[in-house]
Amino acid sequence: MSEQREPVGVIGVGWVGLVTAACFAELGHPVVARDILPEKVEALSRGELTIHEPGLADLVRRNAERLTFTTDMAELLDRARLLFVCVDTPPTYSGDADLSRVRSVVEELPADSEHVLIMKSTVPAGTGESIRRDRPGLPYVSCPEFLKEGTAVADFMNPDRVVIGADTGDEEAGDAVARLYEPLGGEILRTDVASAEMIKLASNAFLATKISFINEIANVCEEVGADVGEVARGMGLDERIGSSFLRAGIGYGGSCFPKDVSALKMLAGNTGYHFQLLTAVIEVNELQKRRVVAKLQRHLGSLIDKRVALLGLAFKPDTDDMREASSLVLAARLQGEGAEVVAYDPVASERAGELLSSVELAGSAVEALAGADAAVLVTEWGEFAELDWGEVASSMSRALLVDGRNFLDPEKLRAAGFEYEGIGKKQEIGAPS
């Protein structure tokens, strides 16, 4: 039965490309996924994954017969008409998105190509129009991705919505993409290319705005003795506001929000429009990562030669992604203040090691915390809730913990002998209760 399904081509086997390829294979489509890096293609062909994403390795192995990895563009073009472009569009120094990889994919398509180019990579609004101008006759569809790292497979299989942007003349291409997603059951929104591109950027920018907003509320809560968790709960019960993305913490990170917020701000700026709100969203996020240092200083005074343990390094749990992780800024700031930084992450240590100079990487949370003058919970990995905090307290030089994600139970920590500080909670300065 699988051989009757429309073959799918994927260009760029990063995180988005691999999830897309594996999930379409799981839905029964023959999939050819092409990447320019031979070592990546060889590893994937052996069933070895280069990224940590729950459920993905199983999917790749289970669908090995339907899923081919190659470096050869000709093989891809030969075997699939529908081509998902999943190459990365990293920020340039100016904050604009770097479209060079997208452009080289387009250049690789033969002039008389009858393929359908389906843009999954996040690109500024207007990119589709310029590609269509350069390559008239090449069917073009914008189909932005809304996957979250850590739950990407589940998000793909149960989408809230699938956005399909196709302009006049490309209706059939849009229909072909819609058919691929129909079995998943999410709402399929058909629109034009520029609107589809804007939906992606606006969605990420809005979610980032929600986070920066609740982080500012948290900072005010600390001043007035309110608890941001309670405030967010009360706000979220208003269905116009909604309860998601109102978790205060030490700022958003990852490969998407920082890049997309800045790309949208730049996109607006390039048209002569100053997107003031996003400037503040970015600034609040930067400052939020740094506030933890001030919290530690309030308790410890100078941080010179103080040993600070960071629990978690990845930008969020269930991923080893270190891109724009708050831990990077925090570690650098702590070192800048003269602290000695030790860190532990269940899966991101290897990647983090390449980025963090002079940070001691411990083999476990218990090892990182032993002898430390303070701890900061940076990433809310489930295993941190399971630690024997009483034992940890007695192993530390000073049982002080700043919970950067409001993840641990303050009462439990205090009962274990900790001075505990969260984000957006009444501040506790002085001896443990």
Q: How many helices (H) and strands (E) would you count in the chain?
A: 17, 14
Element (H, E) at 343: strand 340-344
**Nearest to ligand UGA of 146, 384 (CB atom):** 146
Instruction: Name the DSSP letter for residue 423.
Output: S
Q: How many CB atoms lie within 10 A of CB 64?
A: 15
211 binds ligand UGA (CB under 6 A): yes
Contact positions with ligand UGA (CB under 6 A) in 311-350: 315-316
Element (H, E) at 296: helix 276-300
Q: Would residue 143 show up in a list of annotated catalytic residues for this protein?
A: no
Distance CA 31, CA 323 (A): 28
The footprint of ligand UGA on this chain (CB under 6 A) covers a number of residues equal to: 21
* Alpha carbon 317 to its chain's center: 10
Instruction: Name the DSSP letter for residue 4.
Output: G
List residues bridging with 395 in a β-sheet: none
Contact positions with ligand UGA (CB under 6 A) in 216-245: 245
**Nearest to ligand UGA of 146, 181 (CB atom):** 146
Distance CA 34, CA 102 (A): 14
**Nearest to ligand UGA of 252, 384 (CB atom):** 252
Distance CA 361, CA 310 (A): 10
Amino acid at 374: A
**Closest residue by Cα to residue 421 from 296, 308, 300, 330:** 296
> Residue ranges of the alpha helices (H) in 247-275?
257-270
Contact positions with ligand UGA (CB under 6 A) in 109-138: 122
Neighbouring C-alpha atoms within 13 Å toward the C-beta of 201: 27
**Nearest to ligand UGA of 325, 365 (CB atom):** 325
Q: Which stretch binds ligand UGA (CB under 6 A): 36-44, 171-179, 251-259, 347-355?
A: 251-259
410 binds ligand UGA (CB under 6 A): no
Tell me how far, at minimum, the Cβ of 137 lies from ligand UGA, in Å. 30
**Nearest to ligand UGA of 293, 372 (CB atom):** 293
Tell me how far, at minimum, the Cβ of 10 lies from ligand UGA, in Å. 16
146 binds ligand UGA (CB under 6 A): yes
What six digits make up the tokens of 427? 């501040």
Secondary structure (3-state) at 137: coil
Tell me how far, at minimum, the Cβ of 201 lies from ligand UGA, in Å. 9
Q: Which of 86, 143, 221, 256 is catalytic?
A: 256
**Nearest to ligand UGA of 40, 210 (CB atom):** 210
For ligand UGA, the binding residues (CB under 6 A) are 122, 145-149, 204, 207, 211, 245-247, 249, 252-254, 256-257, 260, 315-316
**Residues labelled catalytic:** 256
